Amino acid sequence: MTAELDTRHVAATADVAGSARIGEGTRIWHLAQVQEGAVLGRSCVVGRGACIGPGVTIGDNVKIQNYALVYAPATLEDGVFVGPAAVLTNDTHPRSVDGEGRLKTGADWTPVGVTVREGASLGARSVCVAPVVVGRWAMVGAGAVVVSDVADHALVVGVPARRIGWVGRAGVPLQREDGGRWRCPRTGELYQETDGVLNDLPT
């Protein structure tokens, strides 16, 4: 019997905890850190200097670019893209010390997470301020600061992030048609906007 080939690649200079679970085909590059209990699915890429916090859950085919910081208890679903130096926070009231000036410990606060749904993209140097949910196939522009939930397929930019349009699965801004319909100029996929919600339509 021939042993199955292990297709994972972890750079010798990466710091991966023994309790982290790494899926087949996943690549973890130079100086990246994957902390205790983190779970990464299949065929992911973790770039140079990226940090994945303890207990973070990451699906399949996720790309986390150089120096991105994904703090626990974040959840990234399948196909998510996290751009260079993006940050997913986890503390709603950050302080180094308590009211008496004593250094805070893990027992002094409760972390809250960011959830990024299937296929969504976070642009370079964007910040998601927990607790927020970034919807399916949404796109957060470079440098945006997300402080409230992002709808499925929404294109958001700015500080604070606000919706300026819609994007399809291909990541291309959709074009408006009559009757509240939107079409992807690349794939031809059709969507219907109703009360600020975008839904797929059969093509």
Q: Domain 9-92+110-167 belongs to what architecture?
A: 3 Solenoid (2.160)
Measured CA to CA in angstroms, residue 145 lies from 31, 88, 98, 122, 187 at distances of 26, 10, 27, 10, 29
> Residue 203: what pLDDT?
63
Distance CA 83, CA 66 (A): 8
Q: What is the pTM of this model?
A: 0.93
Task: State yes or no: pLDDT of 156 exceeds 70.
Answer: yes
> In which region does residue 25 sit, left (phi positive, over 0), alpha (psi from -120 to 50) or beta (all else)?
left
Residue 180 binned pLDDT confidence (cut-offs 50, 70, 90): very high
Distance CA 64, CA 140 (A): 14
Task: State yes or no: pLDDT of 185 exceeds 90.
Answer: yes
Among the listed residues 28, 93, 15, the one whose alpha carbon sits nearest the alpha carbon of residue 58: 28
At 108 the three-state DSSP class reads helix
> Residue 108: what pLDDT?
87
Residues in CB range of 22: below 8 A, 6 or more apart: 8, 10, 16, 28, 34, 40
Task: State yes or no: pLDDT of 3 exceeds 70.
Answer: no
> Residue 14: what pLDDT?
97
| Other C-beta atoms lying within 10 Å of the C-beta of residue 155 | 21
Task: State yes or no: pLDDT of 139 exceeds 90.
Answer: yes
Q: CB under 8 Å, gap of 24 or more: what pairs does 2-10 form?
A: none
Task: State yes or no: pLDDT of 174 exceeds 50.
Answer: yes
Residues in CB range of 160: below 8 A, 6 or more apart: 145, 146, 147, 148
Task: State yes or no: pLDDT of 1 exceeds 70.
Answer: no
> Residue 91: what pLDDT?
94
Task: State yes or no: pLDDT of 176 exceeds 60.
Answer: yes
Please state the domain extents for the chain.
9-92+110-167, 173-203
Mean pLDDT score of the chain: 94
Consecutive H or E run containing 201 = strand 197-201
Percent over 90 (pLDDT), the chain: 88
Mean pLDDT, rounded, for 84-107 = 93
User: Tell me: the pLDDT tens digits for 40-74?
Assistant: 999 999 999 999 999 999 999 999 999 999 999 99
Task: State yes or no: pLDDT of 5 exceeds 90.
Answer: no
Give the dihedral of Cα atoms 134, 200, 123, 170; nearest 10 deg.
150
Distance CA 125, CA 134 (A): 16
User: 144 phi and psi, to 5 degrees?
Assistant: -70, 155
Task: State yes or no: pLDDT of 2 exceeds 80.
Answer: no
Mean pLDDT, rounded, for 102-121 = 94
Query: In the chain, where does DSSP find H-type helix?
Result: none
Query: Which residues are registered as beta bridge partners of 199?
Result: 192
